[in-house]
Structure formats: C-alpha cells, structure tokens
Amino acid sequence: MAKPTASLVWLENIELKPEQGLRTEASIVKTLRKQLIAALQEQNYTPADLSRCVYVIRMKGDFVIAYPWQRSPVLYIGRGAAFGRLSSHLRRWLHEVEGFGKDVRIEIRVCRPRRRNFADMFKYVEADLISRFAERYGAIPFFNSRRETSYERYVEYTDSDEALLTAALGIGNGKRPLWAIAPAPANKNYEVFHRGRQQ
C-alpha cells in the first residue's frame, strides 16, 4: 500500500529575542509572547490558524547544543495548537534560554502539514522529525521526553519537503556558531538532556 504524501506549508521563521535586564520570569515570558503574536500578525496569521501544526524551537546566535554525534541549534520539536503550546513552553522552560548569553535568540519554525481526509497528518510529520533528529544527532532534542514511534515512517515526502525537514534540524549553510554547549551535572536540566540518548 502506498504511503500518503504530506503537503507541508512552512511559515517564515519567527525570531524571539529575550530582552536583557528583565528581572522576573513573568516579564520575560510576557515580552516573548508579545513578540510571537506580532511575528504571526506580520505573516497574516492568528493563533487560531496554528492548529494541527508542527514546530521546531531552535537557538539562534553564537550557541548550539553539543549533542552526542553532531551539533544542532534544536531545543524541541512539538505538535498541536502551536500558539498555545509555545506559550506553555515559554512559561515552563523557554524563558531560560535568556541565561545562555546576550546574543542568544530563539527561532521558531512552524509547519502546517495538510492532506485531505487526514486530520492527524501533523502527528506523523512530528514523529518523523524527531526520529530523523535522533538518528542524525544521537539523541532526541533537549526538551523532548520521548520519540513518537507509533507514528514514524508512515508518510511520503517530496524532495523539496525532505530538504526543508532536514534544514529545520541543522545549523544551516553559512552559519558559524562559536560555542557548542551541554548541561553539566549541576544543571537542573542535566537528566532531561541525557534521557533521550541513542544507545
């Protein structure tokens, strides 16, 4: 039986910049949330347009993550109602990126997978992205808790979609980050980082 082919529409990359000097977690989250809403409005999207999406949260700037096999700026791959999920991540952990350094920014890549009579296409695309990431970098993304194996390798992708999926995971041509970091044992996220290592 032939695999279904996804139709993938990517938004323009959304960049969020934590403002230095904000003293409270709440003020950082509020500022980043405003930036996210403004970025969506610039592309003529509303939060309601981002249901059944896949999104990749990346660092942008001088730092990338030192995964076991290669370096990548990817922090998390998720799915669902992207605006609500991203707002939740801002509250729970994403605001911590501000502490990585003054030149660190957050980049969000949002994909809207669609196929007629296949409402769950976004679940399969997310699973494939996490699987590809694990196979290339030796671990799942930093803040992901697990692979979605029941949804993996079910969808067929065009060559251009394959290229965009790969680009969402890597550093990118011409980019030259100065540091590759990983949490040390004293870091509260040390166990989170290591739970998804490939054996």
Predicted confidence (pLDDT) per residue in 140-189, tens digit? 998 888 888 889 988 999 999 999 999 999 998 878 888 888 888 898 77
Distance CA 190, CA 198 (A): 16
Residue 65 and residue 142 in contact, taking contact as beta carbons nearer than 8 Å: yes
Amino acid at 12: E
The bridge status of strand 179-181 relative to strand 63-66 is parallel
Residue 59 has pLDDT above 80, yes or no: yes
pLDDT tens column, 97-146:
656 656 678 888 999 998 888 888 999 999 999 999 999 999 999 888 88
Distance CA 57, CA 172 (A): 14
Q: Is 21 left (phi over 0), alpha (psi -120 to 50) or beta?
A: left
pLDDT class of 73 with cuts at 50, 70, 90: very high
Residue 154 and residue 4 in contact, taking contact as beta carbons nearer than 8 Å: yes
- Work out the percent of the chain whose per-residue pLDDT is above 90: 33
Higher pLDDT: 131 or 3? It is 131
Q: What residue ranges in the chain does DSSP mark as E strands?
A: 7-10, 14-16, 53-60, 63-66, 71-72, 74-80, 105-114, 179-181
Mean pLDDT taken over the chain: 83
pTM of the predicted protein model: 0.87
